[in-house]
């Protein structure tokens, strides 16, 4: 027997054992109802900082003095924030990243606020180091628009120098549906706060004047030519500020009523407004401002749903940006199904649970697809208005393996989901997250659009997953929508052979999903675009055999290496396998890395953020990625080797 064959046999055995241990770990963690659910954490301290700002709001009724919140809980929030502070005093947008001025200003504001809470302890040196770092980064003037808007509600930043969000947007017909779903859910309740300009009271002596960098104007400037969308929108902002002073009250009130009704309608069948933290927080603030008492059913429900996002178990204190249960379940179920080792009863329970989460009512997406029958899946436990195309594709992949107790129902659900997904294809041939043709690029120049997620354009990562999901659900590879999706992926390949990943970090994620989509669609592994994708993955492999990519890739606009992570290593392996490479040293070293880094309990460790919320602004750590994707990669490789 040749040495190379001996090594291969050994690696097959150890990879099989690693997969078996992983399957056993997932079996132990399955909920009785059939789902899997891991923590979802942000890459920074902004949610805990926003939480303390919300406490400032709730304990600062208009016309009264500020009343301190519960000191014990505030102390826990402070400790959570300080855990993110870097040695240079700043706060980053992702683990081990450079200081980010917006994240640092939010953290500083929250920490300074905490010093006004009786009984709370805080080392003043932490504040001073943060202040110095903020000034070095350009001062409070360099923070993004949402930081300035939030602070302006308390008179902590001049209102005239913060972008305007008028509720009259509700009178613009379907214009709000040209924004991304998460942006409209943030903007609409926030517009009510803008209209009131509440100037809530703050503790005596509390201000942020020390964060103002001398010599830098507070005014936000376009820096753009006169004949540009950016300059046009800044002129519109000037007009809105004029309107705020001299508006027709009947029009303003009608706009506020429409915004309020829009928000309340989307409380139904949901874990809160859009089921994500920022809109849920602004909804509470909006209802409070409109005079809804704390015990009003709508406000009480909004507060209850928001409070559910808090994890406070004695050891940990943090807010989840949302619940990722459908997403976690679908990925885990597909990985388990690919392994061929999962208990059929466990898989069937999962399939039955997933069927209960199918969307059957029309949501915001139907504004552009009014005649499309509702279907698809959302991300959370409940978010009926916002089924997610990416989730839907992943659930279709999961159902391919899980089956369900009622095979007739399964067939009907799958047919509806396939039809809905095909109907949600955009004109360019790709798929986005929540909407169709959400690509008015000029809206990215709106002054409050610097959260870098004003739009929901098509992207290669979702498109690749959709192609695979549709084909596993029975759509023929020669279907016109599949061919348009393939053409989209070929057109969007980067010059270096990679693909951009919008929802995962970054080019490794986009490349692995694009290659899997192309493989599912029947593309030959001899095609130039497939070969180039595989070659790129080999070229960026780390010396330890794994793959790692920094969130900084988004800012640079190209791959930035990072230490190997379990999830990104799995993506690299699966991308190579999809490109037709199952026997190179790159693949073998990748498999060895996963086997060697697996913990005894069948799980993997991962510290860095590999998920993306808003590129350059907010990142995510999916705590099941580190386990689901390695199992998927090991299973993919073992299937190929067994078939050889």
Closest listed residue to residue 196, CA positions, set 252, 277, 263: 252
Report, in angstroms and rounded to the nearest whole number, the Rg of the chain calculated over CA atoms.
25
Query: CA–CA distance from 534 to each of 247, 330, 513 (Å)?
Result: 59, 26, 12
Helices 181-196 and 249-265 sit at what angle, rounded to 10 degrees?
Answer: 140
**Cα three-residue angle 527-532-538, rounded to 5 degrees:** 130
What secondary structure does DSSP assign to 160-201, as a single string? GGS----GGGGGSTTGGGGS-HHHHHHHHHHHHHHHH-----
Our CA dihedral for 479, 422, 33, 609, rounded to 10 degrees, sits at 100
- Lookup: tokens for 229: 């969308």
Contact indicator for 12, 58 with CB cutoff of 8 Å: no
Which H or E run includes 546?
none
Distance CA 574, CA 441 (A): 33
Q: How many helices (H) and strands (E) does the chain have?
A: 23, 7
| Residues in contact with 605: Cβ distance below 8 Å, sequence separation at least 6, in sequence order | 566, 597, 599, 626
Contact indicator for 446, 488 with CB cutoff of 8 Å: no
Distance CA 52, CA 69 (A): 9
Distance CA 225, CA 227 (A): 5
Distance CA 488, CA 464 (A): 10
Contact indicator for 409, 355 with CB cutoff of 8 Å: yes
Catalytic residues: 390
Residue 56: CA atoms inside 13 Å, Cβ hemisphere, count?
30
Q: Which residues pair with 85 in a beta bridge?
A: 91
| Residues in contact with 183: Cβ distance below 8 Å, sequence separation at least 6, in sequence order | 449, 451, 453, 454
Q: How far is CA 81 from the centre of its chain?
A: 20
Distance CA 120, CA 73 (A): 10
- Lookup: tokens for 10: 């050994």
Query: CA–CA distance from 331 to each of 34, 212, 394, 402 (Å)?
Result: 13, 46, 7, 12
What backbone phi and psi angles, to 5 degrees, belong to 123? Answer: -70, 115
Q: Which residue has the tokens 């041939």?
A: 429
């Amino acid at each position: 027997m040749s040495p190379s064959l001996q090594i291969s046999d050994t690696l097959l055995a150890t990879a099989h054992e690693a997969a078996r241990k992983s399957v056993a770990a997932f079996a132990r963690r399955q909920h009785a109802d059939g789902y899997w659910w891991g923590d979802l954490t942000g890459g920074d301290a902004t949610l805990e900082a926003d939480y303390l700002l919300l406490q400032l709001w709730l304990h600062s009724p208009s016309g009264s003095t500020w009343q301190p919140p519960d000191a014990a809980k505030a102390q826990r929030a402070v400790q959570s924030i300080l855990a993110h502070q870097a040695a240079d005093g700043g706060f980053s947008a992702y683990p081990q990243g450079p200081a980010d001025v917006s994240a640092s200003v939010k953290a500083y504001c929250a920490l300074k606020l905490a010093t006004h809470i009786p009984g709370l302890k805080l080392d003043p040196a932490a504040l001073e180091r943060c202040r110095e770092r903020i000034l070095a980064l350009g001062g409070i003037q360099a923070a993004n628009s949402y930081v300035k808007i939030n602070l302006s509600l308390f008179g902590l930043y001049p209102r005239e120098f913060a972008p305007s969000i008028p509720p009259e947007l509700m009178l613009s017909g379907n214009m709000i549906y040209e924004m991304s779903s998460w942006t409209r859910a943030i903007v609409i309740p926030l517009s009510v706060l803008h209209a009131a300009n509440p100037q809530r009271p703050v503790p005596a002596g509390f201000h942020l004047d020390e964060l103002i960098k001398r010599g830098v104007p507070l005014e936000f400037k376009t820096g753009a030519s006169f004949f540009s969308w950016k300059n046009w929108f800044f002129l519109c902002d000037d007009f809105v500020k004029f309107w705020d002073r001299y508006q027709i009250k009947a029009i303003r009130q009608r706009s506020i009523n429409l915004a309020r009704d829009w928000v309340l309608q989307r409380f139904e069948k949901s874990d809160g407004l859009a089921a994500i933290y920022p809109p849920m927080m602004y909804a509470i603030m909006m209802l409070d401002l409109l005079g809804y008492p704390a015990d009003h059913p709508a406000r009480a429900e909004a507060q209850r749903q928001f409070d559910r996002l808090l994890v406070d178990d004695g050891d940990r204190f943090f807010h989840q940006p949302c619940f990722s249960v459908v997403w976690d379940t679908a990925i885990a179920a597909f990985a388990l199904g690919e392994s061929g080792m999962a208990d059929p009863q466990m898989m069937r329970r999962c399939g039955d649970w997933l069927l209960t989460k199918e969307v059957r009512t029309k949501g915001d997406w139907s504004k552009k697809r009014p005649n499309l029958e509702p279907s698809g899946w959302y991300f959370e436990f409940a978010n009926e208005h916002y089924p997610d195309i990416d989730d839907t594709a992943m659930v279709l992949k999961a159902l391919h393996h899980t089956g369900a107790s009622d095979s007739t129902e399964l067939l009907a659900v799958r047919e509806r989901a396939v039809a809905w997904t095909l109907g949600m294809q955009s004109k360019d041939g790709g798929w986005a997250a929540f909407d169709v043709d959400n690509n008015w690029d000029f809206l990215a120049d709106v002054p409050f659009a610097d959260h870098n997620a004003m739009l929901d354009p098509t992207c290669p990562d979702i498109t690749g997953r959709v192609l695979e999901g549709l084909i596993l659900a029975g759509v023929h590879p020669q279907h016109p929508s599949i061919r348009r999706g393939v053409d989209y992926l070929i057109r969007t390949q980067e010059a270096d052979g990679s693909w951009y990943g919008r929802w995962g970090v970054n080019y490794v994620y986009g490349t692995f999903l694009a290659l899997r989509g192309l493989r599912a669609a029947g593309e030959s592994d001899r095609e130039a675009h497939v070969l180039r994708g595989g070659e790129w993955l080999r070229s960026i492999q780390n010396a330890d055999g794994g793959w790692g990519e920094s969130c900084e890739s988004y800012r640079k606009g190209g791959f930035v290496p990072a230490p190997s992570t379990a999830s990104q290593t799995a993506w690299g392996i699966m991308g190579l396998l999809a490109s037709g490479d199952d026997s190179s040293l790159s693949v073998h070293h990748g498999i060895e890395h996963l086997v060697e880094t697996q913990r005894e309990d069948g799980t993997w460790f991962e510290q860095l953020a590999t998920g993306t919320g808003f590129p350059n602004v907010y990142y995510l750590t999916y705590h099941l990625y580190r386990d689901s994707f390695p199992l998927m990669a090991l299973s993919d490789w073992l299937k190929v080797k067994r078939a050889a």
